[in-house]
Amino acid sequence: MAMITKKKIGTVATWIMTFLLMIVICLPGLWVVLTGFRPNREILAKPAIWIPENLSLDNFAKIFGFGAEQIAIPVPAYFTNSLVIALTSTFIALLIGMSGGYAFARYRFKHKNGYFLGLMLSRTVPGIALSLPIFMVWSKLGLIDTKLGMIIIYVALNIPFTIWLIDGFFRQIPKEMSEAAQVDGCTRWQAFWQIEFPLAKSGVASAGIFAFLTSWNEYALASQLTRSTDSKTLPVGLMDFTAQFTIDWAGMSAMAVIIIVPALILTFLVQKHLIAGLTFGGVKG
């Protein structure tokens, strides 16, 4: 009886600690979200107003150019750039990642382990460490301040992790299933799309989410390689709210909410596949 009581106390204590830890982790994000709905005068008030008094959508209307008060920052253009770059780079990274992951999981070829290790090691290099050589090469190729230049970079950044995750997932799918389908008359291509790919959707969804979030939130390289509204993304556009002596905290927070919301929506839409992919597909056989 005493053992059961101790176990229950331990479980309750664990839940309480987890809850408190989550509050600490989520509090800064919650504060940014609330700040996005508050006027600047309330944000800068002294003494500080901890509990919001006036919540409205005025900041969002202002940064998107609606209403009487507007700003000169082209937020819609930044949003479009981020969406185009993130979606395109994610799609390309998934295509290459599925091909590479399937090849590593199903085929034997010379120096296979060496190639795989090289891919993984390439991902360990911080992106900011590559900013100078990339800038020099991109300037020679005319890719500075272009969406294409950013898409190529994000595809290269996402491919190693995408291949690793999808490779681990395909390794958990028995080869006999594909072989049985081919015996029944399917081609290798048909066996892949009709048998193996449906079973690997969770891994592909997980890889897609991480690739999208990497492209959507990346700041260091984008700040070095973008200059104008033709290619600037939302994280880089946040700095437009800072002036020499002032910072538009309300507008910056509203734009931060715009950055957060699409990522949250996408994550919740594929939450089931994401959890399955992380807990199952990441295990290499």
Q: Let me know whether 82 and 147 are in one domain.
A: yes
pLDDT band at 68 (very low <50, low <70, confident <90, very high): low
Same domain, 118 and 258: yes
Q: Which of 236, 217, 211, 220 is nearest to 135 (CA)?
A: 220
Total domains, the chain: 2
What CATH number corresponds to the domain at position 178? Answer: 1.10.3720.10
Assigned token pair, 132: 């100078």
242 three-class SS: strand
pLDDT of 141 reads 92
Residue 85 burial by Cβ neighbours in a 10 Å radius (0-12, 13-18, 19+): buried
Q: Is the pLDDT of residue 174 over 70?
A: yes
> What is the number of helices (H) and of strands (E) in the chain?
15, 0
Name the residue with higher pLDDT: 130 or 151: 151
Judged against a pLDDT cut of 70, whether residue 15 lies above it is answered with yes
pLDDT in the model for residue 180: 83
Kindly state whether residues 32 and 114 are assigned to the same domain: no
**Lowest-confidence segment of 34-38, 70-74, 91-95 by average pLDDT:** 70-74
The CA-atom distances, in angstroms, between 244 and each of 60, 67, 153, 239 are 23, 26, 31, 11
pLDDT cut 70: percent of the chain above it: 92
Higher pLDDT, 143 or 3: 143
Looking at the structure, tell me whether residues 84 and 203 fall in a common domain: yes
Mean pLDDT in residue range 79-102: 92
Residue with tokens 């053992």: 3
Residue 37 CB-half CA count within 13 A: 11
Q: What is the pLDDT of residue 281?
A: 44
8 Å CB contact between 224 and 145: no
Is residue 227 situated within a structural domain?
yes
User: 36 is written with which tokens?
Assistant: 């996005």
pLDDT in the model for residue 282: 43
Rounded CA separation 160/168 (Å): 12
pLDDT of residue 273: 61
